[in-house]
Each structure stands twice: as structure tokens, then as C-alpha cells.
Structure 1
Amino acid sequence: MDNYPADSAPQQQWAPKTALIAVAGVLALAAAAGAAYAAVRGDRGGLVLFGLAAVVLAVVTGYGALVRPKLAAGEDGVRIRTAAGRVALPWPGLEIRLRTTRRLGRDSVTLEFESGEDLHVLGWLELGEDPRDVLDALSALRAGR
């Protein structure tokens, strides 16, 4: 649902890095070639594994290209693109916070956007940069409105 006013252009945007999307696309093609080779050789296990990898990588590539920009911020609030469309979250009533969790021995930082019953969680892959830097930019934009 896109209820962001058309006349208020976003002042800042964040999206997955183009290089990461391109690498996923190249890997999807390589996995498809591996699946074709496995099919020619009669290797059913290889066909299934390479085929599954090709499909997953193709979906990741398509999603990464579809949701650009993932996050846009302007004077009225933020817009988040999802596979279902855009969600507009106005500054009043919007909570933005960092969440740090430890997974597999590493700290993972995400940015959470909560407005009413809506919760959107974005990490560095979706934003293309460190969520801490994005929070700083959003805080400055929100304070300057």
C-alpha cells in the first residue's frame, strides 16, 4: 500500500548494493549451468542440488532488483518497499530502533521500524550500508523537518 504523498519526494534512499545483486545473478546462471551439466551426465542428485540453488539464487536476484530502493525517507516519513508493494510510515507514531543480536559468534545489527501493528526489520543487506549509519541519517532528517 503506497499512501506516501506523490508530491513529497524522498530526500534519502537506501537499497541493496547493485554488486551483490549482480553476483547473485551470476551465481544463479552458474548453478543453472551446473544443473544442465548434471542432467546431461545423468546425475540426479547434482541436478536437484544445482537446480535448487539456481532457483533460490534467481529469486534472491529478482527480489533484490524489485525492491529498489528498499528504504526512502523524506519530510513526511519513511517508505519501505516489500514484495507486496510500498508501505508508508509517517514520522508521528513511528519508532525506529537498533537491535543487536549475537548469532554464530557475530553481532548482527538490524534497524526496526514500528508503527502501530506494522513492524519492519532491515539489515545491512537490505539497506546497502550499516544500519547504525542509516539510523543517524534518519534521526538527522527527522529532527530537521
Structure 2
Amino acid sequence: MRPHPSPTARQWRVPARLPALKLAGAVALLALALLLDEGDPVQLGLAAVAAAALAGWAARDLVAPVRLAVDPEGVTVARGFAGRRRLPWTAVERITVDRRARLGLTSEVLEIDAGESLHLFGRLDLDADPAEVAEALREARPR
């Protein structure tokens, strides 16, 4: 029998529609390259490489959709292509949200500073507002 998760255990993942959009973009890119093919193998090769990169990016979202998880013992962050790294609360120095305005748009990034490493998460990594996630992390942290 599995233990019941703690009421403060939560996780954040990429939106379900994001991998589908990336795969659709890869297919559209290849289709466009084939449609506009002028016999240039370099053009088709570049389109194939770009489509493969998009498909790989989508595969990461499907294989490891959870980017951040929290429980009373610490946080677990995505690492590499599909790995995870466990950070006990004692390793977490700061949890902040960086807001930047560019070209009339404001972006927010959740930053988890673990001393020797800095972990960054945007809205599309979390499928939530980074400020709300930061607040949930602070609430889950033991005092």
C-alpha cells in the first residue's frame, strides 16, 4: 500500500497541450520544406534538423513532464533531458521571482537558488504563475 502524500506535497508540470504544439510545429516545418522544395538538399536538411530538435523538445515534455515538485523534506527539480535532482530544504538558499519588462511584455521566472546551482522555471515549465508557485514553495518550507 502506498503512503498518502503529505498535504503540502505538490508538483508542477508542463501544460499538456505544449508537446502536441511542438510536434505539430515539427510536422508543419517538414511539410513546408517539402512543399517549397527547390531541389536544395541543404534547405531540406536544415528543416529536418530543426524539426528533429522540436520533436526532441516535445519528447522531453512527454518523458519528464514534471518540472518541479515540493514536499516537507525539500524540492525536486528537473535536470538534464529527463533527470531529476533532489534539493533538501537546507540546500535551498532563496526562492525568488524575477520580473522583466521587454518590448511591452513582462516575463516572470521562478528562481530557486541552491548555492552552487540556480534553477529557473517559466510559466510554460510550471503551467502556473511563477509568483503563485514561489508562494506555495515558501508555505511548504518548514520554519
TM category (shorter chain) comes to: 0.7 to 0.9
Partner of 1:139: 138
| Alpha-carbon distance in structure 2 between the residues aligned to 1:64 and 1:116 | 27
Identity, in percent, stands at 34
Give the counterpart letter for 2:111 in structure 1.
E
Q: Is the 8 A contact 1:36 1:47 kept in 2?
A: yes
Q: Aligned Cα RMSD in Å?
A: 2.4
Give the counterpart letter for 1:82 in structure 2.
R
| Unmatched tracts of structure 2, length 5 or more | none
Partner of 1:111: 110
Counterpart secondary structure, 1:112: strand
Q: What is the TM-score of this pair, normalised by structure 1?
A: 0.80
| Alpha-carbon distance in structure 2 between the residues aligned to 1:44 and 1:38 | 12
Instruction: Give, in angstroms, the shift of residue 49 of structure 1.
Output: 4.8
Counterpart secondary structure, 1:129: coil
| Alpha-carbon distance in structure 2 between the residues aligned to 1:93 and 1:8 | 25
Q: Does residue 83 in structure 1 map to residue 83 in structure 2? A: no
| Unmatched tracts of structure 1, length 5 or more | 1-6
The size of the alignment, in residue pairs, is 137
Partner of 2:127: 128
Partner of 2:60: 63
